[in-house]
Each structure stands twice: as C-alpha cells, then as structure tokens.
Structure 1
Amino acid sequence: MTNRAARIALVVVGVIALIVGVVFAGQGANLIPGSSMTGDRMWLYIGVIVGVVGIVLIVLGLRRPRRDRTDL
C-alpha cells in the first residue's frame, strides 16, 4: 500500500477498533461496570477479536511499502 492517505486511514481505523475492543473486553470481563454488556463473556470474546483486528490494521498501516527490485 503506497497511498499515504490510505495508510493513515488504516492506522486511524485500527486505533478506533483497538479502543472499542478494549472497552468491549473490559465490559465483558466485568472490569467496566454500568452496561448491559457488563459480565457477559460474549462481549469479552468480541472485544478481543475487534482488538486484534485493530492491531493488524495498525501494523499494516505503519509498515513501510516494499521497494520494487527495479528501483535498485
């Protein structure tokens, strides 16, 4: 991915997904009270999955683009 705007968008979406995943996991693990999601293990699993997706998007957005062999 060489387009700078697309890479920035990946990082931004990844950070948002990571934050949402941490909140969901915290509520599912009963660490963040005050919601219908509190204490429900399903939200813990959903939060972990969303958080991992966020991390993957951040890594993809921050990776340097590969150089073509023709550039050498």
Structure 2
Amino acid sequence: MSRTVAVVLGVLCIAMGLLWTFQGLGYVGGSPMTGVTLWAVVGPVLALAGLALVVVGGRARRRE
C-alpha cells in the first residue's frame, strides 16, 4: 500500500469514526444510528485505526 493511499484511507477512517461516535452519542441526528450505543463504541475504534494508518503511512519510507 502506498503512503498516499494509507494516509488518505486513514483520514477517511478518522472522519467516519468521529461521525459514528457523534451519532452514537446523539449529537448528530437524522439517522437510525442516532443514540445507539454500539456506534458510540465502534466509532472511536475506527478513528484509532485510522490514526494508526496515518502514522504508519506517514512514517513509511519510499522505495527507491
């Protein structure tokens, strides 16, 4: 996986994780996910996985 792909995928995971967290906590309405505790737990897990992807992608050395 290239560095750019890892970082972009990581940022998308962070964004989705934050959205799911806020929906699960009831801060973002208009979805069947709103107020469901499962999403308040899954969201931070996804955000942390995305953060790990960003860190790994940012530290990966380019092959020459």
Normalised by the size of structure 1, how large is the TM-score? 0.80
SS in 2 for 1:38: coil
Larger Rg: 1
1:41 is the counterpart of 2:37: yes
Runs of 4+ in 1 over 4 A off after TM superposition: none
State the Cα RMSD in Å. Answer: 1.2
Asked if structure 1 preserves the Cα contact closer than 8 Å seen for 2:6 and 2:53, the reply is: yes
The structure showing larger relative contact order (alpha-carbon pairs under 8 Å, at least 6 residues apart) is 2
Counterpart code for 1:27: Q
Identical residues among aligned pairs (%): 33
Selected match of 2:19 from 20, 23, 33: 23
Mark the runs of 5 or more structure 1 residues left unpaired by the alignment.
66-72
SS in 1 for 2:2: helix
Normalised by the size of structure 2, how large is the TM-score? 0.89
Q: Give the Cα separation in 2 of the matches to 1:64 and 1:46.
A: 27
